[in-house]
Amino acid sequence: MSILFKNCAVLDTGKGELLPDYWVLVEGDIIREVSGRPIEAPGAIVLDLAGRTLMPGLCDAHVHVTAVEPDLTKLDRFSPSYITARSINVLSGMLRRGFTTVRDAGGADQGLAQAVREGVCEGPRIMYSGRAISQTGGHGDVRSPGEEAGNHCCPPVWALSRIGDGVAEVRRAARDELRKGACQIKIMVSGGVASPSDRVTNTQFSLDEIRAIVEEAQAADSYVMAHAYTARSIRRALECGVRSIEHGNLIDEGTLDLLKEKEAFLVPTLCVYEMLYREGAASGISQQVLDKLGDLRENSLKALGMAMRKGVKIAFGTDLFGPFQEQQSLEFSLRREVCSPADMIRSATVVCAELFNMKGRIGVIAPGAYADLLAIDGDPLQSPELLLEQGRHMSVIMKEGKFVVNRL
């Protein structure tokens, strides 16, 4: 089937500018032609956008689609079928907010990605990490300090993470996740907020362990993404070849210079700290977790501002879980304080495309790219709030040439 969009204001995400009076032809699941002149396409379905903005689908580089409960320690106790059923709603919500590609940072697996790909359920394209790799007592170890029981090296299938200690174990863990089709490997190299037995300032994994994981990922033509907060933990990861730094709230200017030198990516996730601050207690998040927010929330915007000034590659990420998942688009509002609308959109399109190794296939309106398209009721470069409100201002949401929403 062919679909022809006419009278579009095409958003050039790389340049951050609108191209008025454009025509875009979709054939099957790809964009066939983009032109400033009328396109002849006999038999095509024609949609007149009447000047609306046509832009590529959005990307989120840090989601947890299976983190369906606010208390993450409960996930191991649920059955896979229950997690799957609730994850389907999470995926549908993301797609209907305009996110057509997401990178899952721990939890989603081959089966969920395949179900979306085959149309069994509605959702964005999933670049999944499988289970993140953590050391004993690290950010991915959900056991309380007094807990001894449980085989956490081989956790339940829906656990967000697995444990590995020593070069041989982490190498085996990385190989196993890659065997199961992981698009990238996620590791924990610093303490975290939701983990019960570490401090945010901890460094985790030895340098040899990190290097071994990076080596395995690179051998499989993949890469490593690392949960890291402090400058020290980020620097250790970068020096070992990690390509994507998640969060980075406590980064400093010297480490940002190293990140830029290594051509690595930074994935800030401002909205998760904001939602924990606003609604964490009411959602049943423990005070122990909320007490860790402190400097992380206060420094998140500062770190993003420094990264913007340094010109590092900044991808769009959210890291939400449980009931907070619906606030995915809040990240745009929070970043608005230090980022222009064009920068934010670039972060959620072409920068993510490069990070996902899908440059030219997603994040752009160009021949040969997937037909992941949004028709916005206005100009998001002038009014970025049009990307909020659960897709309310999106007259069309299309993924791979199929309409998810068509209000025209």
Q: Are 51 and 9 in contact (CB under 8 A)?
A: yes
Tens of pLDDT, residue by residue over 298-354, are: 899 999 999 999 999 999 999 999 999 999 999 999 999 999 999 999 999 999 999
Give the per-residue pLDDT at 285: 81
**Closest alpha carbon to 370 in 358, 381, 380:** 358
Residues of the chain with CATH 2.30.40.10: 2-57+364-406
Give the per-residue pLDDT at 2: 97
Q: Are 266 and 312 in contact (CB under 8 A)?
A: yes
Residues 185-208: what's their mean pLDDT?
91
Q: Are 345 and 55 in contact (CB under 8 A)?
A: yes
Tens of pLDDT, residue by residue over 266-304, are: 999 999 999 999 998 888 888 877 888 888 998 999 999
> How would you classify residue 139: left for phi > 0, otherwise alpha for psi between -120 and 50, otherwise beta?
alpha
Residues 388-405: what's their mean pLDDT?
98
Give the per-residue pLDDT at 286: 81
Residues of the chain with CATH 3.20.20.140: 58-355
> How would you classify residue 166: left for phi > 0, otherwise alpha for psi between -120 and 50, otherwise beta?
left
Give the per-residue pLDDT at 77: 81
**What pTM did the predictor assign?**
0.96
Give the per-residue pLDDT at 84: 94
Identify any residues that bridge with 403 across adjacent strands, giving them in sequence order. Answer: 398
The pLDDT mean for the chain works out to: 94
Tens of pLDDT, residue by residue over 128-176, are: 999 999 999 999 887 777 776 555 555 555 589 999 999 999 999 999 9
Q: Are 199 and 158 in contact (CB under 8 A)?
A: no
Percent of the chain with pLDDT over 90: 85
Give the per-residue pLDDT at 197: 75
Tens of pLDDT, residue by residue over 237-256, are: 999 999 999 999 999 999 99
Give the per-residue pLDDT at 149: 56
Q: What is the DSSP letter of 49?
A: -
Give the per-residue pLDDT at 159: 80
Give the per-residue pLDDT at 150: 56
Tens of pLDDT, residue by residue over 11-44, are: 999 999 999 999 999 999 999 999 999 999 999 9
* Burial class of residue 38 in the structure, from the number of CB atoms within 10 Å of its CB (0-12 exposed, 13-18 middle, 19+ buried): exposed
78 pLDDT tier (thresholds 50, 70, 90): confident
87 pLDDT tier (thresholds 50, 70, 90): very high
Distance, CA of 148 to CA of 136 (rounded, Å): 12
**Superfamily classification of domain 2-57+364-406:** Urease, subunit C, domain 1 (2.30.40.10)
**228 pLDDT higher than 70:** yes
**DSSP string of 92-161?**
HHHHHTTEEEEEESSS--HHHHHHHHTTSS---EEEE--SEEE-TTSTT----TT---S-TTS--TT-SE
Give the per-residue pLDDT at 73: 75
Find out if CATH 3.20.20.140 is the number for domain 58-355.
yes
Percent of the chain with pLDDT over 70: 97
Give the per-residue pLDDT at 250: 97
* Burial class of residue 14 in the structure, from the number of CB atoms within 10 Å of its CB (0-12 exposed, 13-18 middle, 19+ buried): middle
